[in-house]
Amino acid sequence: MRKYLAVITLCIALTACKKTALAPCSGNCTEVHVSGDILLQPAGTGFAGVPITVQLSATNCIICSQSIVTTQKTDANGRFDFVFNIDTTLLPGHKLYFYFANMQQYISVPYSYINQNLISRDILVNYPSYNNGLHFWFYPKASLQVNLHRVSTGSFAYFSVEHSFDSQPGITDYIIAGNQALPQDTTFIVETAANVFTKVTASTIITPGNNLATADSIKCSAMGNNVIRVDY
């Protein structure tokens, strides 16, 4: 019995992962334009020859059909710019998106991930501006040591530290919740981008409506001893 169950499970897994090429559009066709770039920052050097796959996948299903619409590559400057046709009657109950390999030796700004190996982006057929002028930026990695030093003796309700780089959304790294009055020093390491400024922001809620925020920045190097001190 277990043997049969194992075979069935394997068949389901293989079927769920199977991808087929979508037949060329023959009716109810609409043209979709997708463009953008994949760059190494801050130099702005393009990643050439990166395969980009456009896929149509069924949603709200256990064994979901997956069809490859087209596969393209970035040019010598890391740009991609392509057009394809899609049958609009196929879109209900399906998700249209593209994906490419995540270059994990670099750090990237926050993107959507299919998994840690693939970066994805939805394609909205009725909103052309959403699909064009896209930027996927990667940076050399750096480690930053954050030294928290308690200088205040008053209590607070909430405290957090976040870091961001290159004007991208912040990532929360450390939280103290609850009424805290005792001094508390600590050190932690965050992964950030090299060769651009990393901003570290400390936010304190003393009481509801009584908030404090301080910020400092540091330009980290990939192999350097990067340390920043935060007093709170």
Which tens digit of pLDDT belongs to each residue from 67-82?
999 999 999 999 999 9
Query: Which of 147, 157, 140 has the alpha carbon at shortest distance from 192?
Result: 140
80 close to 36: Cβ distance less than 8 angstroms: yes
- Cα distances (Å, whole numbers) of residue 38 to 46, 47, 60, 86, 220: 6, 6, 31, 24, 22
Which tens digit of pLDDT belongs to each residue from 85-134?
999 999 999 999 999 999 989 998 766 667 778 999 999 999 999 999 99
Q: How far apart are CA 66 and CA 89, in angstroms?
A: 16
The secondary structure of 113-154, three-state, reads: EEECCEEEEECCCCCHHHHCCEEEEEEEEEEEEEEEECCCCC
Domains of the chain: 31-132 (2.60.40), 141-231 (2.60.40)
Percent of all residues in the chain with a pLDDT value above 90, rounded to a whole number? 68
Q: What does the pLDDT read at residue 5?
A: 38
Distance between first and last Cα of the chain: 62
Residues of the chain with pLDDT under 70: 1-18, 110-113, 179-183
Q: What does the pLDDT read at residue 88?
A: 95
Q: How far apart are CA 105 and CA 131, in angstroms?
A: 26
Q: What does the pLDDT read at residue 135?
A: 94
Q: What does the pLDDT read at residue 110?
A: 60
